[in-house]
Amino acid sequence: MQVIWLSYFDSGKTRSEGRRVPKRLSLDSPKLSDLVSACSLLGLEPEPLPEAKYPRSWWERGGCILVKSESSKTETLNRIAEAMKQVPKEGGKGRR
């Protein structure tokens, strides 16, 4: 099982603040529901933990998920980030 924090994908964070994907793959204000949807599309069987708080920013809401993946964490994060860009937003359009 791998723990995937929402902060890993936030373009508003620096690497030292917890972002783990390249800027080109990060999103403005990612949502936990988008993360869960992207992981479901990839077949990673996500288990959301919406009340969890990222240790580096414990005062912020966010959450994390647990996924089953045979790949390295970096590879898994990059695949999830690419899938999150394809997840439709509330308006029915893909994210950019």
Starting at the edge strand found earlier in the chain, the sheet holding 2-5 runs: 2-5, 64-67, 47-49
pLDDT digits (tens, 9 = 90+) for 27-47: 998 999 999 999 999 999 999
Domains of the chain (ranges; CATH) run: 2-86 (3.30.56.30)
Residue 35: how many other CB atoms lie within 10 Å: 28
The C-alpha torsion from 92 through 32 and 65 to 3, rounded to 10°, is 110
pLDDT tens, position by position, 45-81: 999 999 999 888 888 888 999 999 899 999 999 999 9
Given a cut of 60, whether residue 91 has pLDDT beyond it is no
Per-residue pLDDT at 37: 93
